[in-house]
Amino acid sequence: MSGNSMIQAILAWLSRRTDFLVRIWNVARNIGLAVRPMRFSLLMVLAGIAFLFLSDQGLDTLRDFAERKAGRQHDASQTLFFFLGAFLWAYGSWYWARILVSIRFETGPDELPWVHKIQTWLPRLIGLVAILALMVAFWRAATPYADVADSPGLILKRYALYSLMGAVGFAVFTLTRRDLSGWLATRLAGHRLSAPLSHYLGSVQPRHEQEYGKADVAEAFRYSWPLLLFTILVAIGLLVAFAISPEATAPQVGSTPILLLASAGWIAIGSAADLFGMRTRFPVFITLFLLAVAFSFINDNHAVRVYAGRASVQDTARVTTEQALRRWQNQQLLRPVAHATQTYPLFIVAAEGGGIRAAYWTATVLGRIQDSNPCFADQLFALSGVSGGSLGAAVFTALLADSTYANPNFRCGAAATTALLPDAQAILGEDFLAPTMAAMLYPDLLQRILPVPVAHFDRARVLETAWERAWRKTRPGSDRFAEPFGRLWHAQQDYWLPALFLNSTWVETGKRLIASNLQLADDDFSDVEDLGLFYGDRALSLSTAVHLSARFTYVSPAGTLTRDHRTYGHAVDGGYFENSGTTTALEILKTIDQLAATENFWRHVEPYVILVANEPADLRYPNIKLATWPKSRATTPSGCCNEVLSPLTAMLNTRGARGAYARETTRWHVGTAHFLQFGLCKNDSVEIPLGWTLSKVVRDTMQAQLASDTCTPYPNRSNLEQIGTALKKRFARR
């Protein structure tokens, strides 16, 4: 055999052996080219489904929507915007996919029967899946409710039925629209509405009735521009409303409608931009991405807010932890004692992070303790919070400052204070997700491609002002959350108010960055940055100080730390360092130990640490004990890409490990009997979501768990009783 013949034989053999690869490549290429015009519709529908089903917050927004409707709150406006958003999302996803798939592109799929079926059925399937996703989400959201008249559960099931009817109607419409279009064309022959109606029903000119990739742009968009213009006008209207006053307008629209309307707007505008890019071969989205990256050097609008009003010297004046402990000591010596060897319980609260779940749970636990034991605040020295735990701790402390407890004539053992728990729950029961999502998806998203910073577009400010608005709504005449952080302690000479330690993380160093009304002396705190020293005589509002600790990943942006027109770094959620807050609590305990080593009074102080845990425990692991929880939790070793993924996995897991280490070290320091851990358990019927809004059924679930010991890893009721016993012993009369 000659050399050429051998080469030809080898090539022929290789061709036979690789023919199946060529066929697979051709199939994949045709699928990709067929789906490419519909990719934006497909992406936005998948994003909406991910929010509804992969996020506990998604279902809870539907519950909140139904509860407000049942309670006649924001009923008309939220219902209107919901159905408008659902229609534009589902109909628009089908409509724009169908329009783009009919347009002729330079490179298209082969004209094969199965490719034609993809082009015919995938747009219909995208729209149908969107409606069915809403149906399933409504039905799942109804699970926790009883089927009683006008209950949220029945409302959700009714909406699920409406969605099913809509899905059936949509399927019938897409299958029969050509016949309907023909009937209308006959009835409206010669009328100017005949062509537009036929177009919106999904018909095209007869010669293209069963063809795809044949129409030119002008033909396809001849009647499409009104719908595109309407969608753009809705998007602009929402952008303006959310840019001017998101705290007031966004709750009227609702969290889920905001997401649906944003997705619908992106489908229409994104499809038009995608069409332009495919027709001109201009990389529209890559260009926008590069602009966002380039402008990020000069358009940062996330600078931490500094209090705009007049801040007094008292607003920024602070004492050290040791000096504060001596103030607390003086308050204790003024109280009556039961006997000469009186012991003094001293409570330190560590509140874990976790969005509104942690905030509501922390405020509920502390409010319940205070309302049941009016003397609790006298014995509470400090609260160390992280993320949502900081918000709950701040709400509780601010309510103390506003309550009858702050009255100089009040005696904690003589009369009950005004109940704090209802106000705390009312403040944190507001919808903070809607304004945050509105700012994030509209003005703050636009900011990414603007060359100059617009501070008013900052979604971080929106969340802070939403907290301020919720406070004013519940406490008319008071503006604690908008006032300087240090102003809470102005009248402390008349009563004791616990100190706040709001733990954040400094991005550039990885260290703790703490906002506190106390100075963080080097002798008391190790390797920590004092936010009060950074800002000096410039005050931060209480809402801003809290938010520095609660810069939740991506929902809230990193706060830019600026002073004298210079940027020094960025602050993010305190949970990046460790999420329990017990590291700071432990350092306070060490300062107490130093005093006890030299002074008799402090030898009679009994420190208690109250840890308000946030992550719901899973009762499917019944043998878990608090002291061994990190050790007994099952782990699944990584089986794929170990060399690549192990360093990243280790870095992510060390965050939780640091928290576990800090908790166990603190427990060992005070003793298990004085380490009281409150927590939640997962519920089979309702997930307790991590986000910025909670439905009433979730809030009721949390309150029910506090009143019982059914959540076995956390003896909540027993902890309440133990705190009450310690306080009664302290204030027993002789």
Q: How confident is the model at residue 205 (pLDDT cuts 50, 70, 90)?
A: very low
Q: For the residues 541-553, what does the mean pLDDT come to?
A: 92
d(CA 665, CA 350): 13
Q: How confident is the model at residue 404 (pLDDT cuts 50, 70, 90)?
A: low
d(CA 700, CA 317): 40
Question: How many CA atoms lie less than 13 Å away from 6 in the CB half-sphere?
Answer: 3
Q: What is the pLDDT of residue 690?
A: 81
- Which three-class secondary structure string do you get for 656-679? HHHHHHHHHHHHHHHCHHHEEEEC
Q: Is the pLDDT of residue 191 over 70?
A: no
CB atoms within 10 A of CB 8: 12
Q: What is the pLDDT of residue 105?
A: 79
Q: Worst-scoring range by mean pLDDT, 14-23, 25-34, 625-634?
A: 625-634
**Quick check: helix, strand or coil at residue 381?**
strand
Among residues of the chain, what percentage have pLDDT more than 90?
Answer: 43
Q: How confident is the model at residue 718 (pLDDT cuts 50, 70, 90)?
A: very high
Q: What is the pLDDT of residue 428?
A: 94
Render pLDDT for 75-117 as a digit per residue (tens, 0 to 9). 578 888 888 899 889 988 998 888 888 888 777 788 888 888 8
Average pLDDT, whole number, for the chain?
84
Alpha helices in 556-628 (DSSP H): 582-596, 600-603
Q: Is the pLDDT of residue 13 over 70?
A: no
Q: What is the pLDDT of residue 688?
A: 84
Looking at the whole model, is its pTM more than 0.75? yes
Alpha helices in 75-187 (DSSP H): 75-101, 113-141, 152-187
As a whole number of angstroms, the longest Cα–Cα distance in the chain is 117
Among residues of the chain, what percentage have pLDDT more than 70?
Answer: 84
Q: What is the pLDDT of residue 311?
A: 73
Q: For the residues 366-389, what does the mean pLDDT come to?
A: 93
Q: How confident is the model at residue 272 (pLDDT cuts 50, 70, 90)?
A: confident
Higher pLDDT, 228 or 581: 581
Higher pLDDT, 126 or 523: 126
Q: How confident is the model at residue 418 (pLDDT cuts 50, 70, 90)?
A: low
Q: What is the pLDDT of residue 33?
A: 87
d(CA 35, CA 30): 8
Higher pLDDT, 477 or 75: 477
Higher pLDDT, 176 or 460: 460
Domains of the chain (ranges; CATH) run: 8-223 (no CATH), 313-334+342-414+458-620+666-730 (3.40.1090)
Q: How confident is the model at residue 208 (pLDDT cuts 50, 70, 90)?
A: very low
Q: What is the pLDDT of residue 627?
A: 46
Q: Is the pLDDT of residue 189 over 80?
A: no
Give residue 685's identity as a one-letter amino acid code.
S
Higher pLDDT, 481 or 279: 481
Two structure tokens written together for 255: 């969290």
Higher pLDDT, 644 or 42: 42
Q: For the residues 261-279, what does the mean pLDDT come to?
A: 87
Q: How confident is the model at residue 122 (pLDDT cuts 50, 70, 90)?
A: very high
Render pLDDT for 128-174 as a digit per residue (tens, 0 to 9). 999 999 999 999 998 888 777 778 889 899 999 999 999 999 998 88
Helix axes 56-70, 255-280, angle to 10 degrees: 130
d(CA 576, CA 554): 13
Q: For the residues 343-357, what does the mean pLDDT come to?
A: 93
Higher pLDDT, 631 or 321: 321
Q: Is the pLDDT of residue 479 over 60?
A: yes
- Angle (CA) 596-586-366 rounded to 5° is 105
For residue 617, what are the CA distances in angstroms to 223, 620, 623, 687, 688? 55, 9, 12, 12, 11
Q: What is the pLDDT of residue 138?
A: 93
Q: How confident is the model at residue 625 (pLDDT cuts 50, 70, 90)?
A: very low
Q: What is the pLDDT of residue 426?
A: 93
Render pLDDT for 644-692 as a digit per residue (tens, 0 to 9). 777 777 777 777 788 888 899 999 999 999 999 999 998 777 788 888 8
Q: What is the pLDDT of residue 624?
A: 46
664: left (phi over 0), alpha (psi -120 to 50) or beta: alpha
- Whether 559 and 505 have beta carbons less than 8 Å apart is answered as no
